[in-house]
Each structure stands twice: as structure tokens, then as C-alpha cells.
Structure 1
Amino acid sequence: MIPFTDEELEPAVKDVIEKVRPSIKLDGGDIELIAIKDGVVYVQLQGACVGCGSAGTTIKFGVERQLKTLIHPEITVMSVPQGWEDKLDQLG
């Protein structure tokens, strides 16, 4: 169990996203934090990342690995498709 509330996680998660953002932008994309719920970080890839075959790798081995390493090993990241921002409970 993650020993932080979602509210406590938010500043640290935003900091890590800012650290990975430049590498995502190099490929013409971007990343947005949508929400944090029960230790699950919901992000949305944008720009050239939408529909890219490497998007899943970017989420798991880029963003999630950094969050696990820098914040807590039990954090998971979910990708939010365009238009699903209000349907997070249906993802997974």
C-alpha cells in the first residue's frame, strides 16, 4: 500500500512528469496529468504520441518506471485515451 494520499502524491508526480516531458516533446508529443486516484496515476499522451505504437512503452518504461523509482514502487500509471477524461473508472 502506498503510504501517501493522492493529494500528497500530486506535487511529486507533477515533478516527475516535468522531468520526462522534454524527452516526450523531442518526438513531437506531450504528456498531461489527468488525475491520481488510489495511487494510480492517470496520464494522457498528446501530439505525435497519440496513436503511436511506442506509446505504451513510453508510459510503462518511461513515466511509470520513473515514478516507481523516485516516489514509490507500487505506483502504477494508466494511459487515458482522448475523450475518456471523465470515464477513469471504466479504464483498466
Structure 2
Amino acid sequence: MDEISIEALEQAMDEKIRPELSLHGGDIWVEQLKDGVLHVRLLGQCSGCPSAELTMENVVNQVLKENFPSLKQVVLVTGVSDDLIQQAKLLLNRRKKQ
């Protein structure tokens, strides 16, 4: 299998996916690329959109798999990341101390 780089994926997203998402106030973030499986998170207005799965199928999957045939799967990450939870806890603790 051909090696896929994050840089190449980011370039494809910059050119072909992000402009489409930005029309709707959204963006995309790469969480992880491991063993040919790309984990991404939709941001902005796209993050909570009821059509997020359709966007993944019709925009993200289609573009990336056309450009990177060796890509096995693109997975949409949902929920709150551990980092974000930790940041929220720090903010709440600071407020309690004030």
C-alpha cells in the first residue's frame, strides 16, 4: 500500500474540501491517520449539523478516496475530545478560585 502523508491529505482538503465546508461556516480537522484509516472531526457549523454524515459521504470520503485510493476508511470523530474536557475543567477551577 502507498504511504499517505498528513501533508498530502491536508493539501487535498485545503484545495477541495475546506472551500466547500467554509460555504456553510465549517472546517475539518485531522485527528489521526493510522494504518490507512483517517479520523477527522468537522468543526464550526458543520460539527453539530444533522447532515454531517452526508457531508462525510458526499464530500470528504469521495474527494479523499479519489485522490488517495489506498486510503481504507475515513471516520468521523464526534463527541468532545479529552483535551477539550481538560481545558474546560481548568477554566471552571479558575472561576471557583476567584
CA RMSD between the two structures: 1.9
The residue aligned with 2:8 is 12
CA contact (8 A) 2:2 2:70 kept: no
1:81 aligns with 2:78: yes
Deviations 1:27-78 (A, max 9, x none): 0111111110111111100111122111111112101111111111553110
User: Cα–Cα, structure 1 residues 85 and 4, in superposed 2: closer, same or farther, change >3 Å?
Assistant: farther
How many angstroms does 1:84 deviate by?
Answer: 3.9
Structure 1 unaligned segments of length 5 or more: list them. 87-92
Match for 1:65 among 62, 65, 79? 62
Name the SS of the counterpart of 2:75 in structure 1.
strand
Q: Over alpha carbons, which structure has the higher Rg?
A: 2
How many angstroms does 1:21 deviate by?
Answer: 0.2
Distance 1:78 1:61 in 2: 13
Distance 1:31 1:10 in 2: 13
TM-score (norm 1): 0.76
Instruction: Pick the structure with more helix per residue.
Output: 2
CA contact (8 A) 1:64 1:75 kept: no
